[in-house]
Amino acid sequence: MTVLQTTNTRDALVTEVRRRILSGELEPGTSLTEQGLATMFGVARPTVRSALQELVARHLVERSDGRSLRVPVLTDDDVRDLFHVRLPLEVMAVRLIVAQGRPLEGVEAELAALESLPAKASWSDRVEAHTAFHLALVEAAGSTRLSRIYPPLQEEMQLCLARLRDSYPDPAELAVEHRRLLKAVASGNPASAEAEMRDHLDRALTGLLAP
């Protein structure tokens, strides 16, 4: 039995189930039941129910037949749809940053955190650091509404990132790619920044759709 080290058991359960989903320990299609999780973590079923409701709201758990819950199974069409929505939002963020000369200290700090992860860091840790980078990049654009609508999309995007683990035999390459992206944005050249963002997302999409 896994012991949750926190005073807020429900939030701890959300965090732990989320970590297991993003690390691949809980694979797509895995059934999640109140009783099973209650037994696994030694918590009450109402706590599990509340945690699962939060994970459903964050698109990290889905209802497979109207009632039972499972780790989402993303089809290729699902992945394409996510990227179709994501692309214009992040391209717009880059345009605003370059056009307005917005500061990038927050983005640099998140990239430094990604770069500093040890070789033995879990893939879920890398997913978290990657997500923090992209959230900071959008936040740097200075658009209140863009910052409001983007984070929920990233929650679901993390399911895609969990699938990219095998695309990075050298996990450090993930940080290298994002350093290249930030360099292009910081260059102040709008065409270069936008092209690198498009290439960055296209490479990720290609990796996800690879057979």
- What CA–CA distance (Å, rounded) separates 48 from 34? 6
Please name the fold of domain 9-70: Arc Repressor Mutant, subunit A (1.10.10)
Give the E-state strand segments of 108-175 in sequence order. none
Tens digit of each residue's pLDDT, the chain (211 residues): 665 554 588 999 999 999 898 888 898 899 999 999 999 999 999 999 999 999 999 889 998 876 789 999 889 999 999 999 999 999 999 999 999 999 999 999 999 999 999 988 988 899 899 999 999 999 999 999 999 999 988 888 888 888 887 778 788 899 999 999 999 999 999 999 999 999 999 999 998 886 6
Give span(s): CATH 1.20.120.530, the chain: 76-209
**CATH architecture of the domain formed by 76-209:** Up-down Bundle (1.20)
Give span(s): CATH 1.10.10.10, the chain: 9-70
pTM for the full predicted model: 0.84
CB 14, CB 50: distance < 8 Å = no
pLDDT of 6 reads 46
Output the CA angle 156-157-163, nearest 5 degrees: 110
